[in-house]
Amino acid sequence: MSSIYFIGIGGTAMASVAVALSRAGHSVSGSDTTIYPPMSDYLAEHRIACHKGFDPENLIGDKPDTIVVGNAVSRGNPELEFALNERRRLVSMPEIVRNELIGDNRSVVITGTHGKTTTTSLAAWLFECGGLRPGFLVGGIAENFQTGCRPSGRSRNGIFVTEGDEYDTAFFDKRSKFLHYRPDIAVINNIEFDHADIFDSLDDIEKSFRQFVSLIPSNGLLLVNGHDEAACRSAEHAFCNVERFGFSPEFEWAALDLSFSPGGTSFTLRRRGEDAGAISTEQFGTYNALNTLAAIACASHGGVPTEAVREGLLSFKRPKRRMETVGEFPGGVTLIDDFAHHPTAVRATLSSIRDRYPERRIIACFEPRSNTSTRKLFQDEFAQSFADADVVVLGRVHRPERYARENRLDTGALGEALARKGKTVFTGGVTEESDYPEDIVSFIRRHTRPGDLVVLLSNGSFSGLRSLLTESFREKS
């Protein structure tokens, strides 16, 4: 086995892959500026040496055979510059996943603008319930496994399930990550414009997905959301078999008679024109029904029996920060945390929560943080995304200095648009002197009622709002 060093080891995916490679027998170490819990605890638990700060002396001392460069690492990084000058072997994270973890295993790759983490986690769990002990890479922490990545239970001819991100690979490789994962079974759940920092248009994104489709072998399989026009366009020139999933009985995989309850979702599974019986899951929302269909189709094609699929659905736990119930507090307030940051994801999350809790009031707290949501690209779309919220709390635009005012999301104008729709709106951190995000905590503390659902929507930390609200609700009770 070799020694492997990660520049930028503190990220969720990088740390998860580092631990998986350590479990596979490699000697692993790495560095980052600052590593926070839970990844710092996770790395320490697995005895992976982590250097604080980037220093060529780290590489000189560790003498790695291979250096993995995270996609957040750019030229000017002292360790990267040293490695380039010394002609050390550099690889991206997707490359080492393909070479060391996917290897000779059957590769299942889950792609799409939304739903990748949940669908990947669910597919991996269904394979696990079928006794196949899959390897996997998830862009988060898969609750059923308590990790984001692990090697396959077999050295070859096993299953490896990968969350296929369309974001770029590394400073030296601007292709989408999913182009490295050698798909045998692939899913395209949906395609929308996102990642405005690396893609110019929806056409630009579709081009990357078409390249991905071209990698599937002729004896492979592409599963595509039959309701998504962009996904179907990307599948048009596939050389492999293509099967659609969705809510139409004409699709090869269909969820019919869909019904929601506080306990979850149920539907009749129709598989290639034949009824396959009732399906129940504790997940809720229309988009999660699509995620579930895609995972069922993957597992079935991978050889998992239907009964194992049914049992796996009932024992599945959502990944962290995917409609995660943080706490139910005395006084009847429930705090939910979700990764939604694109207007479609915000709308779908709130719609799903409304379906599950039709009588409860929703206080939606949104932080514009991603490279797309902080721009003005979706100003009007965000105004439509909070239809199912009763109260909307808008956080500060993250790192607003990146864009000129006319190109930046205008939270003031967004708040006014939502107020015209009858929403109660609060905008946090309106001035530099604002006590942010404590001003949000104070607003919510004053306005919550018994039975309220407080929903956090951000792909980042929201300045620690989750912890602050948890503490506040406990104190109030």
Walk along the chain (477 residues) and give the pLDDT tens digit of each residue.
799 999 999 988 899 999 999 999 999 999 999 887 777 888 999 999 999 999 999 999 999 999 999 998 999 999 999 999 999 999 999 999 999 999 999 999 999 998 899 999 999 999 999 999 999 999 878 889 988 999 998 767 899 999 999 989 999 999 999 999 999 999 999 998 877 777 888 899 999 999 999 999 999 999 999 999 999 999 999 999 999 999 999 999 999 999 888 788 899 999 998 899 999 998 878 888 999 999 999 999 999 999 999 999 999 987 777 778 888 888 789 999 998 888 888 998 999 899 888 899 999 999 999 888 888 888 889 999 999 999 999 999 988 888 888 888 889 999 999 999 999 999 998 877 779 999 999 999 999 999 999 999 998 888 899 999 999 888 766
Instruction: Tell me the CATH class for 95-315.
Output: alpha beta
Determine the Cα angle at 100 with ends 210 and 117, to 5°. Answer: 50
Angle at 261 between CA 256 and CA 266, to 5 degrees: 30
What is the topology classification, in CATH, of domain 324-476? Answer: Protein-Tyrosine Phosphatase; Chain A (3.90.190)
Buried b (16+ CB within 10 A) or exposed e, 462-477: bbebbebbeebbeeee
- CATH 3.90.190.20 boundaries in the chain: 324-476
Query: Where does the chain hold its CATH 3.40.50.720 domain(s)?
Result: 3-88
Domain with CATH 3.40.1190.10 in the chain: 95-315
Say yes or no: domain 3-88 is CATH 3.30.365.10: no
pTM of the model: 0.86
Of 58, 99, 75, 51, which Cα lies nearest the Cα of 170?
Answer: 75
SS3 330: coil
